Amino acid sequence: MTLRLAPLACAVLMLAACGGKPAADANAPAGKPGAEEKVLNVYNWSDYVADDTVKNFEAATGVKVNYDVYDANETLESKLSAGASGYDAVFPSARPFAQRQVKAGMYAKLDKSKLPNWSHLDPQLLQNLASIDPGNEHLVPYMWGTTGLGLNVDKIKEALGENAPLDSWSLLFDPANAAKLGKCGITVLDDDQEAFGAALIWLGRDPNAGAADEIDAVRKVYAAIRPFVRTFNNAEYKDAFANGDACIVMGYSGDIAQASTAAFDAAKKAGKPAPNLRFVIPKEGAIRWVDVIAIPKDSKHAGNAHAFIDYLLDPKVAAAISNHVAYASANKDAAPLIDPAIAQDPGVYPPEDVRAKLVDPRSLPEDVQRQRVRAWTSIKSGH
């Protein structure tokens, strides 16, 4: 995830200590019994908990929660790589970020005796993550979703006609379509993994490919539509989509749902018809991602981090978060508690035939990743 702002501090609260000392290394369990100051430092994506999640956690326990947010996995990774992040609970995307962070020993080993709500997690997601985190020793699945297209249906049909291909990446990547839709606003995620993956899927190629000819093919795709793309960003596109400044956006499933709800509420308050906004997983396929929770190995409040994670794993808490952020929960027992409008939305919980076309991102060799990043920088600049 997906979605999302620059770091800023959130409200602070007080809570009871949950004993624990930071793990000495990534192979030792975090959160051993011991005195621990009543502080928890959390680093998460923006708009990724309910409005009252932190407040309720603090009321139930008493620890002071310092809550910062970021807008890109790279921002989190740079802090972790520095060796002293200062955070106790972080929320990276599993592939390829948490995958290489686990391999690099950046996370403490979980003490599952402190996570009684672990049993509520979806076993299929746990099995999926075990391939990058053997034994599920470091990563806790949190939310999952897809990267697709947010569409203002009426504006798109006005520009392209009633037969516009609303179910295809062609809506964005066909230059003839982009030239017309550029007038009502196109935004693309500022994320080389998502942007490369989408273009390669549209081309009928492996979205995890990194050969020189495939990188060149992606360059050509974006060069053809670059004059019509208004912005590349991971956060502001939500507001642009909600207020009508963008009619087609590449975005995360939950972000589009949140923007659609905001647009509906604003229209209702103003006494105007609500815009016809929609999230689409294109027929060609899409990138699927899973965001996880982990405890940095230098955490000074690992006991409190375990308490916070276990709180998030409570089905009622997990359902309340999904109801607010409109992302699919990794908590199987939260499903019956989630608003049917979300639980039955195929853009949030895709049917099996659609899931079969979803692709998990893979960690690429360092030299290939560097080439992708350089190419993406060039694509954005238009050079």
- Report the C-alpha gap between 260 and 157 in whole angstroms: 18
- Beta carbons of 140 and 108 less than 8 angstroms apart: no
Question: Is there a contact between 112 and 304 (Cβ–Cβ < 8 Å)?
Answer: no
Q: Which two tokens stand for residue 97?
A: 């970020």
Max alpha carbon distance in the chain (Å)? 66
- Measured in Å, how far apart are the chain's first and last C-alpha atoms? 27
CA nearest neighbour of 325 among 86, 58, 53? 53
Q: How far apart are CA 343 and CA 354, in angstroms?
A: 16
Annotated ligand binding at 194? The verdict is yes
Q: Which one-letter DSSP state was computed for residue 330?
A: S
* Residue 204 backbone dihedrals phi, psi, to 5 degrees: 80, 25
Half-sphere exposure of 122 (CA within 13 A, CB side): 18
The answer to whether the annotation marks 192 as part of a ligand binding site is yes
193 known member of a binding site? yes
Based on its alpha-carbon atoms, the radius of gyration of the chain, rounded to whole angstroms, reads 21
Interior angle at CA 145, CA 90 and CA 280, nearest 5: 145
What are phi and psi for residue 210, nearest 5 degrees? -145, 15
* φ/ψ (deg, to 5) at 35: -70, 140
Query: Which two tokens mark 33?
Result: 């019994």
Give the Cα separation of 221 and 104 in Å (integer): 34
Q: Look up tokens 């620059």; give the residue.
A: 6
Interatomic CA distance for residues 61 and 40, integer angstroms: 12
Bridge partners, residue 121, by sequence: 331
176: left (phi over 0), alpha (psi -120 to 50) or beta: alpha
Give, for 145, the enclosing helix (H) or strand (E). strand 140-152
Binding site listing: 191-194
Binding site listing for spermidine: 191-194
